[in-house]
Structure 1
């Protein structure tokens, strides 16, 4: 849906809803103009329903005001003896239709304060058990959906790309308010399902209606080293072709922000020419040579090194050579073992390049340990388009910013016009996992656009070790651990 269409729909919705509310206010003996003054109309509805005036304070609290507002609308239409579930659904979901209809209906009259005991005694409406359950379930679903969309959402670490900072089985709370809640772009979706329905495996959303990207104000901006949850940008492509907010959730550390220049030299990350601080618990593969004496597996377990063959964190290359994924602290410890003769990080030589690495172009001999320099796009930044920049920024211009792009890596035609430069409409970020040799991140697929940002990881509220003993499944030392 384009911005123009969205504005037209919003205006019609507002005008019709207020017109109907005007008529209903008049039926209750109030002045019609009171219906069109924001917040004051809430005050009047509280007076007409008999609800306490302190509810006005709640209407100043984002998200909570939506939940209370739904309750107030239901109380308000009860004043006109609209008691059925269908009528309440009509009032909440379609007020622009039913407020005008009820306002013009001569049979619809105001009967008094619906929240008062006298009203309930005079106009009793006994709910069936099924209606009670339906109301409770719907309230819970609406409240939980609003909280997940605008405040907090639980997230589970599914892979080891952030180890040892975050572990597989960590359950996180992700804040939507720190960077500002993103308004749902695909608003019609099955509650609590992200992009796929459980069991049946079909789409959990309807993409016939897609809204443009909008974000409410937040408390802070994304900073370098923040741990961020975002939608995986590559699911814009086939076979998924998913809307932005229905793409898979990823979690990585923000290494560079809009306008930064990133470069990786021999596995050391430089941002704007300065060496970036390495994650305290980040991992990298090390080659180790021993005197031929086997390691004691328990020594690895004591260091928290994963011995599961599927994890491939410990590989034996020969009688006396190993390749092990380690934190810097663990590497320093192993270096002191008597049977260790040599230990050194595994670093790609940086000569041949890797076709899996962004921008997947033979002109750039980049690999996961040697990369860049690369400027991260910033809103309002104009880049000259030539053979050196087109391979780097073409995807952002075409896929993420929605332009029609034609041409090759030497010349571009954007929206039917030859383009020698391009000015970006969004900010972009560079995300990398702390487990540097076991992370599918920006080195492989490039920039993360601002409209893909979900929220900031705050703390671990539960951590579950599937490989732990019966009594040791819960990692007690990680409960309510802050994320840094």
Structure 2
């Protein structure tokens, strides 16, 4: 849906822009005094500046997204509305999404929005765990990362690192009636919380099987990234479907601009999608 909206917005902006330019520099000077302006021309002159600003902001600067699920709990909750920095990983044209200018690349710990590799019409949001060339292991609910080895630097290759995670006190997050365990994880200098479900065993048989590696191990190909949800046992991510191609990247999540509380009792007569309140304390930067 987001792809279709971008295409429609671009085409309508171009159409109204052409009419606006023709009216300003060609038709208006030739029109006799007192002659009425066609409604299409008047409409284009009114809406084109607004559409142009929206197109520039949405295509090249920032785009709003809504968090639809709990896969990024506790960092992002269902009902959060975020701003995604579109230019963080490159400036793309709004029609075919080809990269025009390279402005940067994801780093470990970034929260990135990308097109789901198995269905590019769907937007996904996950945390970047592995960069091109990294070796990733997720074993017994413990994350291991070996950074890519630069053979040309003729230096000793980095060793496999256990990504430390310390349990925190309190049971604040739940899946159904089951409490989730909260941990503070340190991912190469990026500190953030993750969740683990003590009821859920590792789902290794369902992992994406990369040829030449063990079933719970992956080596990130060039031009790709490995992404995981912070709600580790309730996230369908790179462990299950593979890697995120660079061309699928949309941008980096940077700010929560609105957050609706969606908790509603099942006996309520109101639909589940109707918010029950605003979580003001969640507004701010995303980490």
Choose which of 405, 424, 436 in structure 1 pairs with 2:232: 436
1:248 equivalent in structure 2: 122
CA distance in 1, matches of 2:107, 2:69: 24
Aligned with residue 206 of structure 2, among 338, 356, 365: 356
Aligned match of 1:305:
173
Is the contact between residue 165 and residue 183 of structure 2 (CA under 8 Å) also seen in structure 1?
A: no
Where structure 2 has 5 or more consecutive residues not aligned to the other structure, the ranges are 1-12, 147-159, 185-196, 266-273
Q: Distance in 1 between matches of 2:91 and 2:73?
A: 27
- The gaps in structure 1 that reach 5 residues or longer are 1-66, 84-113, 188-210, 236-243, 282-299, 316-323, 330-343, 379-426
Residues 280, 482 of structure 1: CA spacing in aligned structure 2 closer, same or farther, 3 A cutoff?
A: farther
Query: Contact 2:92/2:98 (CA < 8 Å) preserved in 1?
Result: yes
1:407 matched to which residue of 2?
none
Aligned to 1:327: 182
Shift of 1:274: 1.2
> Larger strand proportion, structure 1 or 2?
2
Aligned length: 240
Shift of 1:453: 0.4
Q: How far is the alpha carbon of 1:437 from its aligned partner?
A: 0.2
> Conserved in 2, the CA contact under 8 Å of 1:156 and 1:169?
yes
Distance, in Å, in 1 between the alignment partners of 2:181 and 2:79 is 19
Alignment partner, residue 465 of structure 1: 261
**SS state of the match for residue 429, structure 1?**
strand
Residue 276 in structure 1 maps to residue 163 in structure 2: yes
Where does residue 232 of structure 1 map in the other structure?
Answer: 116
1:474 to 266, 278, 282: 278
Task: Give the whole-Å Cα distance in 2 for the aligned partners of 1:468 and 1:328.
Answer: 27
CA distance in 2, matches of 1:214, 1:326: 41
TM-superposed CA distance for 1:73, in Å, is 8.8
What's the secondary structure of 2:84's corresponding residue? strand
Deviations 1:14-68 (A, max 9, x none): xxxxxxxxxxxxxxxxxxxxxxxxxxxxxxxxxxxxxxxxxxxxxxxxxxxxx8x
SS at match of 1:132: helix
CA separation of 1:183/1:72 partners in 2, compared to 1, >3 Å: closer, same or farther?
A: closer
Q: Deviations over 1:302-323 (max 9, x none)?
A: x5434xxxx43x34xxxxxxxx
CA distance in 2, matches of 1:131, 1:74: 7
Q: Is the 8 A contact 1:178 1:218 kept in 2?
A: no
- CA-to-partner distance for each residue in 1:162-219, whole Å, 9 max, x for gaps? 00110000000001111112224xx3xxxxxxxxxxxxxxxxxxxxxxx5x6313354
- Checking the alignment, whether the CA contact within 8 Å between 1:224 and 1:257 is kept in structure 2 is yes
Q: Output one character per residue of 1:255-291: Cα deviation in whole Å (capped at 9) or x when no partner.
A: 011111111232111111112355999xxxxxxxxxx
Q: Does 1:214 align with 2:102?
A: no
3-state SS of 1:150 partner: helix
Give the SS at the match of 1:355: helix
Aligned to 2:155: none
Provide the aligned C-alpha RMSD in A: 3.6
Q: 36, 45, 63: which is aligned to 1:153?
A: 63
In the alignment, the residues of structure 2 paired with residue 277 and residue 137 of structure 1 have an alpha-carbon distance, to the nearest angstrom, of 53
3-state SS of paired residue (2:247): helix
Give the drift of 1:75. Answer: 4.7
Q: 3-state DSSP class of the match of 1:216?
A: strand
Matches of residues 11-50 of structure 1 in structure 2 within 5 Å?
none
Structure-2 change in CA distance of 1:155 and 1:471 (3 Å): closer
| Partner SS, residue 377 of structure 1 | coil
Q: Is 2:107 aligned against 1:223?
A: yes
From 375, 396, 400, the counterpart of 2:219:
375
Deviation digits for residues 368-412 of structure 1 (CA, Å, limit 9, x no counterpart): xxx21x22111xxxxxxxxxxxxxxxxxxxxxxxxxxxxxxxxxx
**Cα pair 1:172 1:460 within 8 Å, conserved:** yes
Q: Alpha carbons of 1:161 and 1:278: their partners in 2 closer, same or farther (altered >3 Å)? A: farther
State the Cα distance separating 1:139 from its structure 2 match: 4.2
Q: Which residue does the alignment assign to 2:132?
A: 258
Matched, 1:179 2:89: yes
